[in-house]
Amino acid sequence: MESDTIPTTLDPRRWIAFAVVLAAGFMDLLDVTIVNVAVPSIQKDLGAEYAQIEWIIAAYVLAFAAVLITGGRLGDIYGRKRMFLLGMTGFTLASAAGGLASDPAMLITSRFVQGAMAGLMVPQILAIIRVTFPKEERTKAIAIYSGVGGSASAVGLALGGLLVQWNVLDLGWRPIFLVNIPIGILALAAAAVVMRDSRSPQPPRLDIIGMVLAVSAVVLLVYPLTEGRRLDWPTWTFVLIGASAVTFTAFVLYERWRSRTVGSPLIDLELFRSRAFTAGLASWLLFWIGFGGFFLIWTLFMQAGLGWSPMRAGLTSVFFAVGAGIGAGTSVSLLAPRFGRWVLMGGGLVTAAGFGLYGWMAAHYGSDFASWQMVLPLIITGTGFGIVVAPTIDMLLGQIPDGEAGAASGLLNTGQQLGMALGVALVGIVFFTQLDHDSGRGVDAVAAQTRTELSAAGLPGPAQDQILANFRACVQDRSAEVDPSVVPGSCRSTGGDPAMDVTLAQAGKEATAVNFARTFDHTLEWGIGIMVLVCLGFAALPKDTKLEVHELVDDELVQV
């Protein structure tokens, strides 16, 4: 078994091993978002309640965030290759179970297992990069991993839309999970051959109590945030949130005690003595809260608001991935080595500008918002995303000693996943509350045209008033529904004139699009605020923080 020391003779297969872990990281982030565009198909096929749909989405990220830090520690103790292979095997099997699920409970369970296995697999990736590559190549490898992984979320939306629309072998939504099986098998075979094993030269003891407290704190926070809106915020949701704060405090106190006595804490609190790393980690968490929420409301706007098919929504999202690739490439190769922390701050501002433009255009165009009109705001938003994601991990790891890099990378991965989980939960509260509050806006936007059509049909004024009043009640009830797919009683046909039903159905679609567009704009205003806070956090990094770039000259690596 090899230690963390880089051997003097470099492994000639290191870039092949890197390709394997890159594929694994891509699969993980792909599965965070690929489910979103398949929600209507899953709900219809399995007869799932909307609360179950929410858990199909949230279970993966929650299990991942809960297991992540412990997964990194297990790799230090038992070997990174061993944990990577175990996690990849479990991930592949859980993907198969998800693709074969016969009911919502089975799918939710498979998503929990899938997320937990990813929590074992992903922490090994940065550790394997660290022990496989010399420092001169490590920067490039981390930058590539961050850039490719960053675009995976958008690619997940596109791929999910295509797979659902193509209905491969008449399997409907199931290929979004089954596609992981051949990739997982190939990755396992390649990893077994080309990947070098390693573990910490002084393996720490497993901190069971710290692990239980950390997982409990995460679950006690995310669970009530996810379930609260559906249940109209009963008292126990606030009790659990308070219990999460208490549990987190107990975790910090226990870890501090363990550091002084037994040793081998789950998280080395000494890392937080670095003001720069602490501020950077907080900014990283906020950044992913913003994007976890964005990916959710973006999908809702395109599908539930504008009524687009999964394929159209998925293909439109490709422009975000294009922007992410542009941002990641320019950030790592040109900007970060020269301008350091200013690049991260600039990326946050570019993202905020993209959010602002996207929201304004949504409110302006409403139901007429076309895919081609989304190209510019998506490329701007994706570029800002790529500028931040690609160099951040390496720049933040540069603020702490090499001996603490493993623990620090685990915290950064945890911040990313926990941020996405919190983003989904928190933005759902903001989005649906605003949608309910602002439901009259859509009715007002279509009232005049609807009244004109009713008059052309020969209906007297009092009858028009009654129909419009019922129509307003329908739109408001639909906006207040916890499940967007439910048709309230006030929206069902009364058995009258079929032509009238068609007129009101079309008006309802227009009103819904207007409401979703305005709510999308409002929610992105919160996202802009989060990005401003991200910029302020990155401003706390040292002024000389930069990303080193190295290239090969006459078979020797030199810094440029």
Q: pLDDT tens for residues 507-549?
A: 888 998 999 999 999 999 999 999 999 999 999 888 877 765 4
Q: Measured between alpha carbons, how far is 263 from 257 in angstroms, rounded to an integer? A: 9
State the pLDDT at residue 493. 61
DSSP 159-223: HHHHHHHHTGGG-TTTHHHHTHHHHHHHHHHHHHHHPPPB--SSPPPP-HHHHHHHHHHHHHHHH
State the pLDDT at residue 403. 61
Contact 69, 411 (CB under 8 A): yes
State the pLDDT at residue 357. 98
Least-confidence region, from 169-173, 248-252, 486-490: 486-490
pTM (two decimals): 0.85
Contact 518, 365 (CB under 8 A): no
Q: Measured between alpha carbons, how far is 314 from 378 in angstroms, rounded to an integer? A: 13
Which residue's structure tokens are 């006595």?
261
Helix (H) or strand (E) holding 87: helix 80-99
Confidence of residue 3 (pLDDT cuts 50, 70, 90): very low
Domain extents in the chain: 3-7+10-205
Contact 187, 228 (CB under 8 A): no
- DSSP summary character for residue 7: P
Query: Is residue 554 pLDDT above 80, yes or no?
Result: no
Q: What residue type is 198 in one-letter code? A: S
CATH number given to 3-7+10-205: 1.20.1250.20
Query: Is residue 211 pLDDT above 60, yes or no?
Result: yes
**What is the rounded average pLDDT of the residues 224-241?**
86
Query: Is residue 551 pLDDT above 60, yes or no?
Result: no
Q: What is the pLDDT of residues 485-518, one digit of tens each?
A: 677 777 766 556 677 778 888 888 899 899 999 9
Which residue's structure tokens are 């931040």?
388
Query: Is residue 484 pLDDT above 80, yes or no?
Result: no
Q: Measured between alpha carbons, how far is 125 from 18 in angstroms, rounded to an integer? A: 9
